[in-house]
Amino acid sequence: MRLTRKAAVAGLVIATSATSLCTIAADHNNAPQRATTFVNDAILPPAIEWHGNSESLLAAPDSQWATPFEQHGLKTSPSYDETFAWLDKLIAHSNMLKKVSIGKSPQGRDIWMIVASKEGADNAATLLKNNKPSVLVQAGIHSGEIDGKDAGMMLLRDIVLGDKSALLNNANLLFVPIFSVDAHERSSQFNRVNQRGPLNMGWRTTAKNLNLNRDYAKTDTLEMQHMLRAINIWRPDLYIDVHVTDGIDYQYDVTFGYNLAQGLSPSSYQWLENNYRPAIESALEQQGHIPGPLVFALDNTDITKGMSLWNAGPRFSNGYGDVRHLPTILIENHSLKPFKQRVLGTYVMLEATLKTVGSQATKLKTAIEQDKYRYSPMVTLTWTPEQQSQGWDFKGIDYTLEPSPISGNDIVRWNGQPKLYKNLPLIGGTKANVKVNRPNAYFVPPQWQAVLQRLNIHGVRMTTLTKPTTQQVQQYQFAAPKFASADYEGRQRVTATVSSHQMTTTLPAGTVRIDTNQPLGDLAILLLEPQSPDSFFQWGFFNPIFTRTEYIENYAVEPLAAQMLAQDPTLQAEFNAALTDSEFAADPKARLRWFYERSPYFDDQYLKYPVLRSH
């Protein structure tokens, strides 16, 4: 069966080599112009008409197996029901594809995963028996950024009915076409103003207005809980999260990246940087695309200030993959490129990924194992930006700054003309800031059920003490807590000054022990260390410890204070020293509270972290 169409169909002109965007424009005599396809084209920067070899991947719109994207002029993406009606038809045509629900959304929709394997596995146990690496591709975590869904549908079609079944000879594909399924159905042509298509796009956040790509660590959403359980059950070796970026204009159409060499999975980083990236970029270039690293300008109005390297924390997919030692790639297609170009670039990248992972399975799995069992004695919790030794020859787009009568500020006007910015400064979060020594274990009291439930969802191994156990431990104590002034992702975040002390205590039966010498030990550390920005502490899971629930009346503390001073001359000296602070001396409530806090009546758990560490 012939599925692809010649370039002549629909007037397509195929580029004959992996040319740059500048060369393509010159070859076809295409000056940058205002596009007219999408409702927001008139307010976006000029578009450069694109043609590339990957257009040969397209099926004719009247083909029996054209995807909805191909059927409707390469401008639309199907609804939830249309997507799975088409996929169900394809699955029924092949024993290599199975459809598995990883769970239901809050509004009751199944989050479907297509399992593609030569053996036709329909469960994780069967799939794992083939000993091939599995690639988990996730589209629509931000459901308006849906390129991965349409690219994946085309690729599955060509695996089953075209000439690409060999992609499954040495690798399996786990494909989630729509992750944020409820948001996907909040579809409108007005959802993503900075993005060129599709005509209708889903919403960025879930039905509860939460951002799934801020939820990997805290796992508040039902959707994320389902995804993390699927990762634990299906055990992929590579995780790909497909997005469409916002921000500045530039020549790259497919940008992708992962956490840095300084992160918690250095062996995986080396494989990604030295084996994976060259293969993927070569494939993209051969098909007429311009790949590049993730783009984050330090100043969107002045490109010459340079670019930022992102070392993401575990609230994000790529940061989470780094800390749990699952190599994770963040794809950010360029929002100002047409939908067709972005979908085809994603297709090429996914196909090249299956080839590369299949041919390098041993190297990939070895890197993962090295990271899982590294057990670094010191773990970095926060990073400080620093300038990198090597700059970036950045393939940008030229622009001018023009005064705006609307805002009163200068506004960027991209003109569509390619411009190379030589050796731009590159700033990366590569300098370790807050570091902690690796404890042998953490101990979590059983009453903190929400924390224990989330650790279980992540797949962290835990044991429960069956009898009281005396243990030497370290406990953190907090001072000067600062609560965020506004809600963030449904939570009130908090930071505090941290100190610690050693003590010997008897842990009651039911206390949960979490050893850090386990594959997810680094994840447990970043979730339980209070100075970690994505710790349960900073996400507000432990906020009740900041509430004082017992008090003492003035008429009681006054005689108590006199009694304490009479019995302890040292305390009298400390009080006299405190009175040298004029602000304290002039505050009657502070003076009485000073004694209450030093009395045996004061709450000895106030501002103390209930999670204990052992060495």
If one counts every other C-beta atom within 10 angstroms of the C-beta of residue 282, the result is 13
Question: How far apart, in whole angstroms, are the C-alpha atoms of residue 92 and residue 114?
Answer: 12
On whether the CB atoms of residues 21 and 251 are closer than 8 A, the answer is yes
- 8 A C-beta contact, residue 491 and residue 475: no
Cβ contacts of 497-505, under 8 Å, gap ≥ 24: 498/530, 498/531, 500/474, 500/475, 500/476, 501/474, 501/475, 501/477, 502/472, 502/473, 502/474, 503/472, 503/473, 503/474, 503/475, 504/470, 504/471, 504/472, 504/473, 505/470, 505/471, 505/473, 505/612
Residue that the structure tokens 């920067």 belong to: 45
* Cis amide prior to 198 (ω within 30 degrees): yes
Alpha-carbon dihedral 432, 434, 439, 443, rounded to 10 degrees: -140
Residue 556 neighbours by CB under 8 Å, 6+ apart: none
Q: By C-alpha distance, which of 88, 76, 61 is closest to 5? A: 61
- Name every residue whose Cβ is closer than 8 Å to that of residue 506 and which is 6 or more positions away in sequence: 468, 469, 470, 471
- Rounded distance between C-alpha atoms, residue 281 and residue 342, angstroms: 15
* 150-174 exposure pattern, b = at least 16 Cβ within 10 A, e = fewer: bbbbbbbbbbbbbebeebbebbbbb
As given in the structure block, the two tokens for residue 474 are 């370290």
Compute and round to an integer the Cα radius of gyration of the chain.
28
Q: Which residues are identified as catalytic? A: 332
What are the residues whose beta carbons fall under 8 Å from the beta carbon of 336, sequence distance 6 or more? 44, 45, 47, 194, 195, 196, 249
Could you give the CA distance from residue 514 to residue 219 in angstroms, rounded to a whole number? 19
Place of tokens 């390098």: 360
User: Strand 291-292 vs strand 392-403: parallel, antiparallel, or unpaired?
Assistant: unpaired
